[in-house]
């Protein structure tokens, strides 16, 4: 049983201003796995004051000073990587191979990338008689989600640290354990007091306090569109910068070639990873209408092959994060049935033999782009297959969405894949499984604004100053 009742403020573990706790539920067992404290606006005031004091010196540190801290964090992170992975398994139900693997690996990758970028970043550039300086924006509020807790936390913390900012982290209430361990890692690495602070609690309380605080210069938020809209409104009165990475309904275009069936199978399996709880997941699978039956078989077979069970066992997919999320997904599956979408795999209820835990059947529908299940983000292992007439039709369907976070193109002709990708109105597009920690990530349209990952992630935390003459 975990018990995390203190917050990390000004280099110390401190009690909340007003004691208030909440139980954390293991989604695989529905049992209580631990207790955390819930913070208040008064705790935010203390953390912001500490971050403001620390910024006076941290913002003036050299690149070497910041590199030394980041590398010390890297050493501590490596020592505790399995512990971080086990926390992810317990808090959100990720299979142990995924928790100790890609979840923790993403955090390590963002840390290494921040180190690489910092070594080469030009904080001053002379352009004629004008000196352009990139300076840290100041005190940052970082609000992170539960679905990829290490990825979404580390992609904010380490570029902010490297840029010379100080910060207050508000981790997700549903997945608080890994952030607590990460705070211990940052402390043990010798990070100066006040540079990094962490308060657990409710987004409606801590997020609001950070977004409206006059001494917070920037908010970086990853989460749902409605909450992102509210944060922008809350931040408007103090004219602070707001970076948002919001929802998605990403299209995965499979081109009509000899690899079509294999690519459909791969896209289907990919969608089910992390129980479908990925904002950039390829949840709309676009396939050639002339080969629809072949695509249906490939997708259904791949979906039915996804094993679901105990995260600590040898299964590909664990539960979704909570009872609430389970119910939302069940409602969407029912909507698909009510709309007349063709169910080709999965469906309502838990998988057979799993009577406890928030397990969802990997599910695939065949439908058109006008249905609710094709237009709204479900955030679960529910894929919609949509037929297209030709490539231009596929591009039209892909772009017919309020969202624009991710996209995918699969095909044997790399030039054709890139041609299609150029026409897709979305922030990041992966061709045939490509991956790059230095590639900027962020959304068009209602998927947000700003960019994270690599050098582009640094710019979120920097102001630009012109010194003229």
Same domain (yes/no): 129, 230: yes
Per the structure, the complete domain to which residue 108 belongs is given by 2-246+447-468
Question: What is the number of structural domains in the chain?
Answer: 2
Same domain (yes/no): 212, 299: no
Same domain (yes/no): 150, 80: yes
In tens, the pLDDT along 335-358 reads: 999 999 999 999 999 999 999 999
Backbone φ, ψ for residue 245 (5° rounding): -120, 105
Same domain (yes/no): 173, 307: no
Q: What is the pLDDT of residue 344?
A: 98
Q: What is the pLDDT of residue 462?
A: 98
Determine how many CB atoms are found less than 10 A away from the CB of residue 237.
10
Q: What is the pLDDT of residue 22?
A: 98
Task: Measure CA 26 to chain center.
Answer: 20
Q: What is the pLDDT of residue 213?
A: 98
307 within 8 A of 79, measured Cβ to Cβ = no
Q: What is the pLDDT of residue 268?
A: 98
Rounded-to-10 torsion of CA 400, 401, 406, 407: -20
Rounded-to-10 torsion of CA 82, 149, 120, 128: -170
Q: What is the pLDDT of residue 447?
A: 98
Cα 248 to Cα 432: distance, rounded to the nearest angstrom: 20
CATH of the domain at 369: 3.40.309.10
What string of DSSP letters covers 265-309? HHHHHHHHGGGG--TT---EEEEEGGGHHHHHHHHHHHHHT--B-
Sheet holding 7-9, edge to edge: 12-14, 7-9, 196-198, 166-170, 139-143, 218-222, 241-245, 448-449
Q: What is the pLDDT of residue 334?
A: 98
Q: For tokens 């690149």, name the residue.
A: 63
Same domain (yes/no): 170, 280: no
Same domain (yes/no): 389, 298: yes
| Strand, coil or helix: 221 | strand
300 within 8 A of 344, measured Cβ to Cβ = yes
What angle, 0 to 180 degrees and rounded to 10, lies between the N-to-C axes of helices 63-79 and 149-163? 160
Q: Where does residue 390 fall: left (phi above 0), alpha (psi -120 to 50 degrees), or beta otherwise? A: beta
Q: What is the pLDDT of residue 154?
A: 98
Question: Which helix (H) or strand (E) element contains residue 181?
Answer: helix 177-188
Say which DSSP state 208 is in.
H
Same domain (yes/no): 354, 216: no
Flag residues of the chain having pLDDT under 70.
none
Name 131's bridge partners: 126, 467
Same domain (yes/no): 313, 454: no
Same domain (yes/no): 23, 155: yes
Same domain (yes/no): 88, 211: yes
Q: What is the pLDDT of residue 409?
A: 98
In tens, the pLDDT along 43-63 reads: 999 999 999 999 999 999 999
122 within 8 A of 131, measured Cβ to Cβ = no
345 within 8 A of 362, measured Cβ to Cβ = yes
What residue ranges in 156-211 does DSSP mark as E strands?
166-170, 196-198
191 within 8 A of 26, measured Cβ to Cβ = no
Confidence (pTM): 0.97
Name 366's bridge partners: 342, 385
Active site residues: 245, 279
CATH of the domain at 67: 3.40.605.10
Per-position b or e across 55-92, b if 16+ CB within 10 A of its CB: beebbebeeeebbebbebbbebbeebbeebbbbbbbbb
Q: What is the pLDDT of residue 211?
A: 98
Q: What is the pLDDT of residue 333?
A: 98
Q: Where does residue 201 fall: left (phi above 0), alpha (psi -120 to 50 degrees), or beta otherwise? A: left
Same domain (yes/no): 111, 55: yes
Same domain (yes/no): 282, 412: yes
């Amino acid at each position: 049983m975990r018990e995390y009742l203190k917050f990390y403020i000004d280099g110390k573990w401190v009690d909340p201003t007003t004691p208030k706790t909440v139980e954390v539920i293991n989604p695989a067992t529905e049992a209580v796995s631990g207790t955390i404290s819930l913070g208040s606006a008064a705790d935010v005031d203390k953390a912001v004051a500490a971050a403001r004091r620390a910024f006076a010196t941290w913002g003036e540190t050299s690149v070497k000073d910041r590199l030394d801290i980041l590398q010390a964090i890297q050493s501590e992170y490596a020592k505790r990587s399995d512990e971080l992975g086990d926390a992810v398994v317990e808090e959100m139900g990720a299979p142990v191979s995924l928790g100790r693997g890609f979840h923790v690996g993403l955090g390590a990758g963002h840390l290494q990338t921040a180190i690489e970028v910092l070594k080469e970043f030009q904080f001053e550039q002379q352009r004629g008689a004008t000196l352009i300086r990139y300076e840290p924006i100041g005190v940052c509020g970082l609000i992170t989600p539960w679905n990829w807790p290490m990825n979404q936390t580390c992609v904010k913390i380490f570029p902010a640290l490297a840029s010379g900012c100080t910060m207050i982290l508000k981790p997700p209430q549903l997945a608080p354990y890994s952030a607590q361990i990460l705070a211990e890692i940052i402390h043990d690495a010798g990070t100066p007091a006040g540079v990094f602070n962490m308060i657990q609690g409710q987004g409606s309380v801590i997020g609001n306090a950070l977004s409206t605080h006059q001494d917070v210069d920037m908010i970086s938020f990853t989460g749902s569109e409605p909450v992102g809209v509210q944060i922008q409104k809350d931040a408007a009165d103090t004219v602070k910068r707001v970076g948002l990475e919001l929802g998605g309904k990403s299209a995965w275009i499979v081109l009509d070639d000899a690899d079509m069936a294999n690519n459909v199978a791969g896209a289907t399996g990919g969608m089910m990873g992390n129980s479908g709880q990925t904002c950039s997941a390829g949840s709309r699978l676009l396939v050639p209408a002339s080969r629809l039956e072949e695509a249906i078989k490939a997708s259904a077979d791949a979906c039915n092959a996804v094993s679901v069970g105990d995260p600590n066992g040898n299964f590909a997919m664990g539960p979704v994060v909570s009872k609430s999320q389970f119910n939302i997904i069940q409602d969407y599956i029912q909507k698909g049935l009510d709309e007349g979408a063709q169910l080709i795999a999965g469906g309502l209820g838990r998988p057979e033999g799993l009577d406890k835990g928030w397990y969802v059947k990997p599910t695939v529908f065949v439908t058109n782009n006008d249905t609710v299940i094709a237009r709204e983000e479900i955030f679960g292992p529910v894929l919609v297959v949509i037929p297209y007439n030709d490539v231009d039709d596929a591009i039209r369907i892909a772009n017919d969405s309020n969202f624009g976070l991710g996209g995918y193109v699969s095909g044997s002709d790399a030039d054709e894949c890139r041609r299609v990708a150029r026409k897709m109105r979305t922030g990041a597009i992966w061709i045939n499984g490509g991956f790059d920690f230095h590639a900027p990530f962020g959304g068009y349209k209602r998927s947000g604004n700003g960019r994270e990952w690599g050098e582009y992630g640094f710019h979120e935390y920097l102001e630009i100053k012109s010194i003229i003459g």
